[in-house]
Each structure stands twice: as structure tokens, then as C-alpha cells.
Copies of this chain bind each other. A is one copy, B any other.
Amino acid sequence: MRMSELSERSGVSVPSVKFYLREGLLPAGERTSANQATYAASHVERLRLIRALIEVGGLSVSAVRAVLAAVDATDMPLTWAFGVAQRAVSRPPAPPAAAGGAGFEVLQGLLRDQGWEVDDANPGLPVAAGAVDAYVRLGHDNLLGALPAYARAASIIAEADLAAVAAAQDRPGMVQSVVVGTVLGDALLAGLRRLAQEDASRRLFPAPPAAPDSKDALC
């Protein structure tokens, strides 16, 4: 297909397609003349992934480049691909862990209790430790009581993540699933947490019954 059709089918404007070509995120098409090239269905797929990573995942162009390299390096162990996806996903509300703060120590204790084997460079460590630091700094140590339950929930989530990845049809599909699931999964979980909180708070803290005449007032 020509550039115009590629733009139409992918929903990405022609100037953006040209930008991704220049940046090397999108492989060049097959040249048919000095000014023309032809593109394949794989270009449409790649453009959809690029837009999802940028618009949905909030990734920078250089982060997208790193993720796409992991998608294309089909000889990379999946454990590494997880690491690349994890490092690429910037989490804007990530509080920085305080040097000498309680967070890292609390997290190390949690990892020991759970028997989790993780690298010191796992990007989740400073994010989680920073949140713990902020709880303590704000005087909300009571919220740390939820940590063991959070860890149990995180295990359930991670097992489901891995099973979903393993269900992908082929190896490139598995690596893509890791990337997409890491980026979108945080939003999905944050949304489900709010839904579950509302349901739980309705049961635990029922709203006071409406005053008897409040319904009449609406008539």
C-alpha cells in the first residue's frame, strides 16, 4: 500500500508516519521509485503499537525505541524483555525514595517474607520504597498495614500476567504482550482498584439513609 493508505488504515497522520520513519521506529517501505515506497500490513501493526506506547503508555520516543528493540530481538530471554518494558514505562506519580529513608528497609523485609527473588536494579523497588517513605513522612504509617495484602495481590497479578503472556501465539507476540500488558495493566488495575474500593466502602461505611422528605422535595 502507499503512504496515504498506510496513514488511513493505521489512523496515524502522514507527517507523523514520516517522523517515525526518520526516527527509525518504523522500518522503511520497499522503494518503487525515487519518491515512492510501498508498505505492508506489518507497517500498520507497528504503527498501532507505536501510537499505543506513546498515547496510552506515555512513553518518550527514545523509550519507544528501546521497547521496539526488545520486541524485535526475538532471541532475547523473556525475563530481559520484562526488564526492558518495566524500565521503559515511566510512572509520573512515582515518589522518589528518600536516601536513608525507611522505604528500602521495609521493602527488603517484605521481599524476604514473600520469598521473592529480584534484582537490586528492579525499577519497582525505588517506586514502592518511595511510596512507603511518603506514607511514613506524612504520618500515615497505618497504611503500611495493607502491605502484606498488597504483596499477595501483586503475586496474583504477576502470575496472571505471565500466564497471559505465555498464551500468546508466538515469541514476538509474547514479547509484545509483555510490553503492552506492562504499560496498560497499571491503568487497568488502578481502574479496578477504584471500582472495588467503591463496592467495599458501600458495604463497610453505608451512607446515612436519605431524610424521609427528601424524595418528596424532588417531586
Contact = CB atoms under 8 A, between A and B. Distances in A.
Given A143-B164, A145-B167, A202-B79, A127 B48 contact: no
Nearest to A82: B201
A161 B91 CA distance: 21
A201 B92 contact: no
A131 interface: yes
| Interface-central residue, A48, A134, A151, A190, by most chain B CB under 10 Å | A190
Interface string A74-106: 000111101100100001111100000000000
A29 interface: no
A160 B149 contact: yes
Interface residues of A, number: 97
A189 interface: yes
B205 A134 contact: no
Interface string A113-130: 010111100111111111
A211 interface: no
Contacts of A217: none
B196 A155 contact: yes
A34 interface: no
Contacts of A146: 157, 160-161, 163-164, 181, 185
Given A95-B187, A160-B150, A116 B78 contact: no
A83 to B, nearest CB: 7
A97 to B, nearest CB: 10
Interface stretch (A19-27, A52-60, A64-72): A52-60
A142 interface: yes
Interface pairs A-B: 10 shortest CB-CB: A128-B191, A124-B194, A149-B160, A127-B191, A158-B196, A146-B160, A131-B188, A153-B153, A154-B192, A124-B191
7 contacts: A79-B201, A116-B199, A122-B195, A127-B188, A127-B194, A150-B185, A161-B197
Interface of A: 45, 48-49, 52, 55-58, 77-80, 82-83, 86, 91-95, 111, 114, 116-119, 122-132, 134-135, 137-140, 142-146, 149-164, 166-168, 176-177, 180-202, 204-208
